[in-house]
Amino acid sequence: MNVAQRAAIVEVMPQVPTANAETEGPVRARVIDLSFYYSDKQALHGVNFLVYDRQVTAIIGPSGCGKSTLLRAFNRMHDLYPDNRYEGQVILYPEEINIVSPQVDPMLVRLKIGMVFQKPNPFPKSIYDNVAAGLWVRGIRKKTLVDERVEQALTQAALWGEVKDRLKTSAYGLSGGQQQRLCIARALAPDPEMLLLDEPTSALDPIATARIEELVTELASVVTIVIVTHNMQQAARISNYTAFMHLGQMVEFRKTAIMFTNPSDRRTQDYITGRFG
């Protein structure tokens, strides 16, 4: 086998996580050869990467690249529809279970992993009830404990000061940015292992966006965060690791500092410098 032949083989080998893995700190999730099918349409092709514990990992890429599809695999959102199918593994640590395995109950996964969506979607209830809902569903009913957890979650979401005197008022009375922080508090209340954010600031004005970004960087010290964003500058601002996806493939996964100053792959460079996408 000559050099050219060897090089050709290396080209088609699956991408392996290149963020200098094991020396970087504890791993919270490991995605191994993950493929996903919307019935017969393949949306993810053998994705490999790592999610480090209590770090912010951003997933970027052009429209239709599969970033939201990938994110939703983490909390089994796809299971809500009948013909969807996973191949490969998403191993959650420290439990070491494959959370996309058919043997694992999606409900159990969603109890550990929370999600916040692009459009703020509080329940049509009071502020208090929104945050407490996740606790009640888990059988935590003792009032003093729930009160405490609601206050803690709202404080962590940088919302407590603004709502503490009107906890029983409707969540719909809040502004867009406040509603989104409420959704974050709602996701935080049950003390999740991981928080998934799907373009959380796309619908918000720049100041509300900045406050949520600040919130994300603070929260990262207590909960692992994976964020999908189409805003590259946002990924550059708040993430520690960035994954670039294109056409359902993981093109490059790297420390953010290096991704945005000296990426390895030509496709990554073209995307982040605005040469395609």
Partner 1 sequence: MPEHIMKAFDTDLQGLTRLITEMGGLAEKQVVDAISALNKQDISLAQRVVAEDAKIDALQREIEEMAILTLARRQPMAVDLREIIAALRISNDLERIGDLAKNIAKRVNALAGGFQLQQVTRGIEHMTDLVLTQLKNVLDSYARRDAAKAIMVWRSDEQIDAVNNSLFRELLTYMIEQPRNIGVCIHLVFCAKNIERMGDHATNIAETVYYMIEGQVLADARPKGDVTSETRIPSSPERRNS
Q: Is 43 left (phi over 0), alpha (psi -120 to 50) or beta?
A: alpha
> Measured from the CB of residue 251, what is the shortest distance to partner 1 in angstroms?
14
Nearer to partner 1, 169 or 261 (CB): 261
The residue type of 80 is L
d(Cα 220, Cα 214) in Å, to the nearest integer? Answer: 10
Outline where DSSP puts E strands in 39-144: 41-52, 56-60, 84-92, 97-98, 113-116
Q: Which is nearer to partner 1, 157 or 232 (CB)?
A: 232
CB 242, CB 57: distance < 8 Å: yes
Q: Minimum Å distance from CB 233 to partner 1?
A: 5
CA nearest 76: which of 43, 49, 102?
102
User: What is the residue whose two structure tokens read 């349409």?
Assistant: 41
CA–CA dist 277, 267 (Å, integer): 10
> Which 195-254 residues touch partner 1, going by CB under 8 A?
232-233, 236
Q: Which stretch binds partner 1 (CB under 8 A): 57-65, 106-114, 186-194, 268-276?
A: 268-276
Q: Take residue 65 and report the two structure tokens written for it.
A: 């690249």
Q: Minimum CB separation from partner 1 for residue 109, in Å? A: 35
DSSP states of 220-242 as a string?
A: TTTSEEEEE-S-HHHHHHH-SEE
Query: Which C-beta is closer to partner 1: that of 184 or that of 232?
Result: 232
Contact call for residues 29 and 91 (beta carbons, < 8 A): yes
Instruction: Supply the minimum distance, in Å, between the C-beta of residue 111 and partner 1.
Output: 38
CB of 272 to partner 1, least distance (A): 4
Nearer to partner 1, 81 or 276 (CB): 276
Q: Residue 91 or 258: which CB sits closer to partner 1?
A: 258
Residue 167 contacts partner 1 per CB under 8 A = no
Q: Which stretch binds partner 1 (CB under 8 A): 89-97, 122-130, 202-210, 263-271?
A: 263-271
Q: Closest CB to partner 1 among 28 and 254?
A: 254
Instruction: Count residues near partner 1 (CB under 8 A).
Output: 15
Residue 78's closest CA among 46, 47, 119, 37? 37
Tell me the window of 54-62, 216-224, 238-246, 262-270 that interacts with partner 1 (CB under 8 A).
Answer: 262-270
**Is 260 a residue that touches partner 1 (CB under 8 A)?**
yes
Using CB under 8 A as the binding rule, whether residue 58 contacts partner 1 is answered as no
Instruction: Determine, following the binding rule CB under 8 A, whether residue 270 of this chain makes contact with partner 1.
Output: yes
How many Å apart are CA 212 and CA 185, to the nearest integer?
12
* Rounded CA separation 188/155 (Å): 10
Q: Which is nearer to partner 1, 36 or 241 (CB)?
A: 241
Query: In the set 44, 56, 184, 272, which binds partner 1 (CB under 8 A)?
Result: 272
Query: CB count, 10 Å around CB of 150?
Result: 23
Contact status: 144 vs partner 1 (CB under 8 A):
no
- 3-state class (DSSP) for residue 2: coil
Which residues bind to partner 1, rule: CB under 8 A? 232-233, 236, 260-263, 269-270, 272-277
